[in-house]
Amino acid sequence: KAGVTQTPRYLIKTRGQQVTLSCSPISGHRSVSWYQQTPGQGLQFLFEYFSETQRNKGNFPGRFSGRQFSNSRSEMNVSTLELGDSALYLCASSQDRGRGDTQYFGPGTRLTVL
């Protein structure tokens, strides 16, 4: 079974621009979660989508948004980029995000904001 894929793997943007990251979950997985990883803040939960609906949301500003399509693929968007948005963005999928369900992580998209 193919793993979680994320595109692109690397991205360089300038302040004020917007960016869209894509995540394809493992086939059959309906839940997709997004995390931001930075050296200073560690791994922080952004949001989770299940069956095209946002089910959980972390403490990030409204510039961070996401969506999920009917095939469970997910995108996250960051508008008006700031230098502090430079991070590794990780996507994780699971079959049904019950508390004990295993999350499978993609390799991440490394975003650099100049």
Judged by the rule CB under 8 A, the positions of this chain that interact with another protein are: 4, 31, 33, 35, 42-45, 48, 50, 55-56, 58, 90, 92, 97-100, 102-108
Name residues whose C-beta falls within 8 Å of residue 53's C-beta, 6 or more positions apart in sequence. 68
CB of 103 to another protein, least distance (A): 7
CB of 91 to another protein, least distance (A): 8
Which pair of tokens denotes residue 109? 């998209």
Rounded-to-integer distance, Cα 91 and Cα 23, Å: 6
Complex with another protein: residue 45 or 86, whichever CB lies closer: 45
Cis peptide before 39 (omega within 30 of 0): no
Complex with another protein: residue 87 or 90, whichever CB lies closer: 90
Complex with another protein: residue 56 or 77, whichever CB lies closer: 56
Which pair of tokens denotes residue 46? 């952004």
